[in-house]
Amino acid sequence: MPGNQLAPDIPTDVLGDERAHLAQSRAALKAMREHAQSLSADAAGDWVSQQILQSLLDQRVAALADHPDTPLFFGRLDREDHDDLPGVIYVGRRHVHDGASRPLVIDWRAPVSRAFYQASPTDPMGVVRRRRFGYHGGDLTAFEDEPLNEGADFGPSQILTEEIERPRTGPMRDIVATIQPDQDEIVRAALTQTVCVQGAPGTGKTAVGLHRAAYLLFTHREKLARAGVMIVGPNKAFLSYISSVLPALGEVKVDQTTVAELLGEHDAPEDPLVAAVKGDARMAKVLERALWLHIVKPTEGLVYTRGVHRFRVADYEVREMVASLRGTTRYGPGRAALAQRLAHQVLVRMEQRGDSPDDRVQDAVARSKPVKQLVDSVWPKLTPAQVLFRLLSDAEFLASAARSDLSAEEQEALLWRKPYRSWKSARWSAADAALLDELADLIERTASIGHLVVDEAQDLSEMQLRALGRRCRTGSATVLGDLAQGTTPWSTRSWATVLEHLGQDSGEVTELTLGFRVPREVLDYAARLLPAIAPDLAPPRSLRPGQGSLAVRQGGEVADAVRDALAREGSIGVIVPDGMAGAVSASLDGVPHAVLGPDSTEEHRLLVIPATLAKGLEYDHVIVVEPADIVEAEPRGLARLYVVLTRAVTSLTILHAKPLPAQLA
């Protein structure tokens, strides 16, 4: 029996039977949806409960929508029959059952579906035969059978090959039908396990991160519905590119955001060297000291008057209270605690006089004017902006906060050349945003969510990682990235360091090594840059041979290369040095296209892409203009070029007038 069977030589009655099962499943899903629509929220007692129930019912109805352009299932397992589960299982995007609660399709995330991704001739996991379906629109068009009980290996799946060779149009699609065993391991790792994935370009890191979010939401629905799941990507254009994947998997309640959106959209320009100091984790200690330096040693006690009586708390007692609170609480709650302790001491005095005040009296004393005045003078109310403003404008204050943690040169670099007049008029940089966030957390605890997925994590500063780490302090994270694609002044060289600053030291580092995007010829060419940018990484491997996918032309015109690409199928990205975007766009006069911006969300078949925005994206045909200028433009220009050269799915054309960088020549 052949390992693979594909249309057109398949027995049509097999496909006919499978189509009948699909039709039956569709009808059952329709009935499930109609049933959900018929349920009323009126049963809930009060108005608020009715609204909540109605919203849950609406979500349920939306989740039961049938998408006519994808079939309800993409795989089938025929199992050895020695448990309670059905002998035949159809694996799809969601559960579907008939009127008698008999499962017709089982969610890909259910434990029993795992064998669809993991079973192999050496470990069949109770599966006799795995069937994968090919489809066009919503219709089944082919199938491929793998007998798993015969011990023989059956080469690469043609359905997978067709899926990854398919021309790309529009936003990223889910990969649920073709998740590979090593990817599946990551997707299904336990919720408590933080996973860090190092992977060469196109190995599916982003795809895996998104599917992991969907898997966790399914498996721990109740917990994560409460605690929340968040995806953090490099910019809005990237988020727009990945935005359809989770909704297609039925998950609509996941926050997808950028670091800038999360920490505050501050963008005052800044010297990269200054940004690098601000991004260093040593700043955490400096900020902590800067905040607590605002506490003033109490020199006076408290006098509280009630009627004709005066109650005193001596200055040394106030000093003791402040000393005992310092370091045991965050700054904000510390203020409230000091007020309560002062009030408590007043109550003790009242009791010593023979009064018997209750808790309400203590609260009233804590809120009274003399207590507030004393707390404000000793433990002043502060905002993050006030503290950072002082730190960046007052050399003496910076020196006392920095101690020996920052060198004199580093302190000098941190101080604003032209200080702002007040914290209210200060303009903050992206690096400042992480410092403000650190201070905010020192003042009041940041709430933690259940699970955080961080993409392109190699580009985050230590302080940004700390900011993200706080947001999953009591949860876990999926950290995705590629050390070779680090382009910021602070890009990391080690995942252990990333996990440490994220506060997830026990995270497990794993690697994806097989590329699904970039043709081998292109990937091998780009990998010539690796010894210069990430000498410790092994060269990436590609699943796709892609003969003839690479063209390097000296003196070629962009318009000609674009015309050739337009004659073929699929999307086209013209990636240019940032400064050339306008000129290249002008040279395409009359050819419909758009220039990608950091906030772009519309779709275009032909895009001009500034090199610094290309990260994470992919196009069928990529035209890279003037690599030497891309390298020249920034300190980690070679890494930027590596990113740019690895965006192509089908073809890469390089146009250059200047000599190519030595590594590529």
Question: Which residue ranges make up the site for ligand ATP (CB under 6 A)?
Answer: 160, 163-164, 172, 175, 178-180, 183, 199, 201-207, 482, 485, 516-517, 616, 618, 646
Is the separation of the CB atoms in 468 and 288 below 8 Å? no
Q: Are strands 96-97 and 103-107 parallel, antiparallel or unpaired?
A: antiparallel
Nearer to ligand ATP by C-beta: 166 or 568?
Answer: 166
Instruction: Give me the helix-helix angle, 272-279 and 282-292, nearest 10°.
Output: 70
Instruction: Give the shortest CB-164-to-ligand ATP separation in angstroms.
Output: 5
Beta partners for residue 147, in sequence order: 129
Cβ–Cβ < 8 Å for 264, 430: no
Compute the least distance from the CB of residue 233 to ligand ATP, in Å: 10
Nearer to ligand ATP, 164 or 552 (CB): 164
For residues 197 and 276, which CB has a smaller minimum distance to ligand ATP in the complex? Answer: 197
Tokens of 228: 């929340």
202 is in an annotated binding site: yes
The smaller minimum CB distance to ligand ATP, of residues 517 and 656, is found at 517
Min separation Cβ 566 and ligand ATP, Å: 21
Q: How is residue 448 written in tokens?
A: 């933690």
User: Least distance from C-beta 145 to ligand ATP, angstroms?
Assistant: 19
Which residue lies nearer to ligand ATP by CB, 470 or 517? 517
Query: Facing residues of 453 across strands?
Result: 231, 478
Closer Cβ to ligand ATP, 232 or 463, answer by number? 232
Copy the structure tokens of residue 344.
Answer: 């408590």
Beginning with the edge strand found earlier in the chain, give each strand of the sheet holding 229-233 in spatial order: 255-258, 229-233, 451-454, 476-481, 195-199, 508-512
Nearest-approach distance from CB 81 to ligand ATP, in angstroms: 30
Q: In the bound complex, what is the minimum distance in angstroms from residue 217's beta carbon to ligand ATP?
A: 19
The verdict on whether residue 204 carries a ligand-binding annotation is: yes
- In the complex, what is the shortest distance from the CB of residue 526 to ligand ATP, in angstroms, rounded to a whole number? 11
Strands (DSSP E) contained in 543-643 are: 550-554, 572-576, 594-595, 606-610, 619-625
User: Is residue 311 within a helix (H) or strand (E), and if so which, with residue range?
Assistant: strand 309-313
Q: How many CB atoms lie within 10 A of CB 564?
A: 15
Query: Shortest Cβ distance from residue 658 to ligand ATP (Å)?
Result: 26
Best CA proximity match to 135, nearest among 220, 70, 190, 53: 70
Q: How far apart are CA 208 and CA 213, in angstroms?
A: 9
Q: Which residues contact 156 (CB under 8 A, 6 or more apart)?
A: 543
297 is in an annotated binding site: no
Tokens 């009359």 locate to 590
Strands (E), 8-86: 73-79
* CA 86/CA 19 separation, integer angstroms: 19
Q: Is 192 annotated as a binding residue?
A: no
* 205 belongs to an annotated ligand binding site: yes
> Which lies closer to ligand ATP via its Cβ, residue 178 or residue 653?
178
Rounded distance between C-alpha atoms, residue 335 and residue 339, angstroms:
6
Q: How far is the CB of 51 from ligand ATP (least distance, A)?
A: 38
546 is in an annotated binding site: no
Half-sphere exposure of 52 (CA within 13 A, CB side): 6
- Half-sphere exposure of 495 toward its Cβ, with a 13 Å CA cutoff? 23
Q: Which is nearer to ligand ATP, 160 or 321 (CB)?
A: 160
**DSSP code for 152:** -
- 583 vs 539: CA distance, rounded Å: 35
Residue whose beta carbon is closest to ligand ATP: 204
Give 109 or 278: the residue with its C-beta nearer to ligand ATP: 109
- Enumerate the known binding-site residues for ATP: 199-206
- Enumerate the known binding-site residues: 199-206
